[in-house]
Homo-oligomer: A and B are copies of this chain.
């Protein structure tokens, strides 16, 4: 299917066909990553800016590598070293980057909607690399890619997302993507982090770990991010781990062949034990490999998109 979007902002607005186009394209790029020479020329002469207003070395490196393997030039722009400290607005920063005729802006930002805002005011391609608690679409796509590759399909699968759903952009992108491709999504965790309101998105909400994972084909663990949790919504770490931490013992309740996924970085001994994270059920490192392929696919597809005029700001 031909690709027509200027930007990748979320999975909510993508069709199932568009998602499949990314996954199919990523499969080609994954094969490139197995070669001794992993560099291909599609983005030669193009400029990609990693605009990370919120730090994330892993995601930045995955995008940087994806762009470089496509032969683009990459500029890293992190907020800590930037004029954003001097009170400049995101809009001014982005317009300045566009005045430099950069072709892609990859934005990580603490504010939900930041990438959508940039996409509206800029002619450059914008990729959302995580905006507040809203979405993290390339993470959702790489999770879909991994599930499809390992289990052969997505439709009809039972996928449990486990942890802090309320504040998770990874959860949101997964929910949209999985449902569009026909999976059944269960959200599992303590009531303060997994409110019933998510049922309105079509998900099953469960507050008991055993019930949440028993039937699952896939368990997608979320990172417990101490730094971001609201104090009164979050139980103590020890309590969370005793109720929802994935231990080897609890794996005995899983269906054979179920996948353990995690977007990383892992808190070993908190949301997952080391022997589970490193064990035979885990596809966590394959997710990293697939993330690179998915990001190459997204850059490649956006680059081929017909130019879309930026709306007036």
Contacts and interface: CB of A to CB of B under 8 A. Distances in A.
Interface of A: 33-34, 36-39, 44-47, 49, 55-58, 61-62, 64-65, 68-69, 73, 75, 77-78, 80-83, 86-89, 92, 95-102, 264-268, 278, 285-286, 288-289, 292, 313
A46 B38 CA distance: 7
A286 to B, nearest CB: 7
A58 B96 contact: yes
Contact of A266 (B47, B88, B288): B88
A37 B44 contact: yes
B47 A99 contact: no
A87 B268 CA distance: 9
Nearest to A101: B33
Contacts of A96: 58, 264-265, 285, 288
B265 A83 contact: yes
A93 to B, nearest CB: 8
B292 A39 contact: no
Contacts of A88: 265-266
B38 A57 contact: no
- Considering residues A45, A77, A78, A95, which has the most beta carbons from chain B within 10 angstroms of its beta carbon? A45
B99 A289 contact: yes
